[in-house]
Every structure is written in C-alpha cells, then in structure tokens.
Structure 1
Amino acid sequence: MQKIAIMVGSVYGGAEYVAEQALPLLTNKGYQVQWFQPAELNEVLAFAADCWLVITSTTGQGDIPDSLFPFYMACKDQFPLLTGKKYAVIALGDSSYDTFCAAGQQVNELLVELQASAVAPMLEIDAGETLQAEDVALPWLAEHF
C-alpha cells in the first residue's frame, strides 16, 4: 500500500477543507494517508511517504500561509533530497491578484529542487471561477492518484 503525506497551508480554511475531502477519496483508493497538521519535516520524513501532497492557498503578497511556512523553511534549510518520491501541489488563489497561486508555485519549485517528481502539473484553482475548490480538486485527485 502506497503512503501519501498531506501538508496544508490555509488562511481561511479553504485548503483545509480540500484536504478533509481528499482524505477519504485517497483512502478509498487504497492509499495509506496521513495529514500532518501542522507539518513537521522530521515527522513527514519518518512517515516515509511515497508521495507528498501539498494543498495551499496564497496570502499577503504571494506568501506561504503561516500554517505551512515553517515546514517550507525546514525543507529549504535541511534540503532533504526526495529522489524517487512523487509529489503533487494543489494551489488555491484568486486570479484578480498578481500573486495568483504564488505560494503553490514556491512549494512546487522547492519540491523540484529537492528532486521529487510531479505526479501531474500543479493544479491552480481560481476562487474567481470556482466557489468550492473541492469541486475541481477531487476530480483532479481521482484522475492522478
């Protein structure tokens, strides 16, 4: 059974809600899923997941939410090579801002630097077009996992 680690960056709860909906979907597909909340790098590495799933919104001037930022910085500082591991990023944002999905883009770039392989291109969900992010995220997850 493959393992999936979920890490979430949320400000108003939208990314958390997507994660809550993703858990049963992935579990029902036969994955062993663990949501790290808050995500601690050493705990995530100890879980030895086959795939990291990061679901994040963007805050401020294109910043990573406070709930995910320490994990992101720990990855940058400790730089654990993820060669052979898969990852996926679901980014929530609003295209009326210049920083649309910037937090997801930063996480995606870091995971590439850590030598992980993307399951699929990053999913960008626009709040200006989609009222409920899970309506886009869940079919995407079902297709790629």
Structure 2
Amino acid sequence: MTKITLISGSTFGKTEDFAEDIAKFLKKNNFKLKIFHGVNFSKLSNKGLWLIITSTYGLGDVPENLKNFLKILKKEKPCLKKIMFGAIGIGNSEYDTFCGAIKKFNHYLLLCGAKRIGKVLEIDITKNFCLMEYSKPWIKKWIKEIIV
C-alpha cells in the first residue's frame, strides 16, 4: 500500500475540508495517508510521497499554518531528493498573485531536490465551487503516475 503525506494550508478552513475530501478519495483507492493541516517540518520524513494542498490569501501569501514550512524550505534548503510530490493550489484569478502560495511551494521544493509528479493543479475558486469534482480528473491522473 502506497503511503502519502498530505499537507494542507488553509486560512479559513475550506482548503482543509477539501484536503479531507481528497484523503477520503485516496483511502478508497487503497492509499495509506498521514494528514497534516499545517505542519512542523521536523515531523515530516525526508523520503516518500507528499501531496501539498494550499490556498492563497492576500497578495500571494502562504496561509499562516504553512509559513514556517516554507521558511525552512527557503532558508535551510533541506535535501529532499527522496521526496516526490503533487501540488494543488486554490486561489482567485482576479488577482495577479493567483495561486501564489502553491507556486512558492513548487519552486522551493524543486530547489531542494524534490521531484514533482504531474503538473501543478491551480483551482480558481471564483469559477469552481465544487473543488472535489473539479479536481477528480487531476487526482486520477496523479494516482496513475505515482503507481507506475
């Protein structure tokens, strides 16, 4: 059974709820999950498979519960060569900084040597009210890519 560490960042809780929906879907597809809504970097394994789901607020800012995680990636640049990850961002396309948080995580994870599986999924909250339905095709494709 493949293990996934699901990491979510949320300001008002909608992204956490969405992450829980994704977790249920993954569990139904025989994945074992460890879920963090916000995370202390020291609790993460430096190998394995991560799925990062985060909203963006303000001017492309990372939610408060993921700020320290991003700070460690930027300043300490830990070696993450044994990490593969997927990335889902939620934002408002009316802003120039649309999905800025997930773009930052993608950038710094790649700089630390992690390998992204699939494309980054950017969800426009103003056009896609049912996050799970919108993201299912991406999730199904991502599952196929990690099983190969």
TM-score norm. by structure 2 comes to: 0.89
Q: Which moved more, 1:116-125 or 1:78-87?
A: 78-87
The residue number in structure 2 matching 1:89 is 87
Letter in 1 for 2:34: Q
- Are 2:107 and 1:130 aligned? no
Unaligned runs of 5+ in 2: 144-148
1:78 Cα offset (Å): 3.1
Letter in 1 for 2:32: Q
Q: Secondary structure at 1:68's aligned position in 2? A: helix
**Residues 2 and 50, structure 1, Cα contact 8 Å, conserved in 2:** no
Q: Secondary structure at 1:98's aligned position in 2? A: coil
The residue number in structure 2 matching 1:70 is 68
The residue number in structure 2 matching 1:4 is 4
The residue number in structure 2 matching 1:28 is 28
**What is the CA–CA distance in structure 1 between the aligned matches of 2:95 and 2:37, rounded to whole Å?**
28
**What is the CA–CA distance in structure 1 between the aligned matches of 2:134 and 2:24, rounded to whole Å?**
16
The residue number in structure 2 matching 1:19 is 19
**What is the CA–CA distance in structure 2 between the aligned matches of 1:115 and 1:137, rounded to whole Å?**
26
Q: Superposition RMSD on alpha carbons, in Å?
A: 1.5
Unaligned runs of 5+ in 1: none
TM-score norm. by structure 1 comes to: 0.90
Q: Which moved more, 1:5-14 or 1:77-86?
A: 77-86
- Are 2:61 and 1:102 aligned? no
Identity rate of aligned residues, in percent? 31
In the alignment of these two chains, the number of paired residues is 143
Q: Secondary structure at 2:7's aligned position in 1? A: strand
**What is the CA–CA distance in structure 1 between the aligned matches of 2:142 and 2:109, rounded to whole Å?**
18
Q: Secondary structure at 2:54's aligned position in 1? A: strand
1:49 Cα offset (Å): 5.3
**Residues 52 and 88, structure 1, Cα contact 8 Å, conserved in 2:** yes
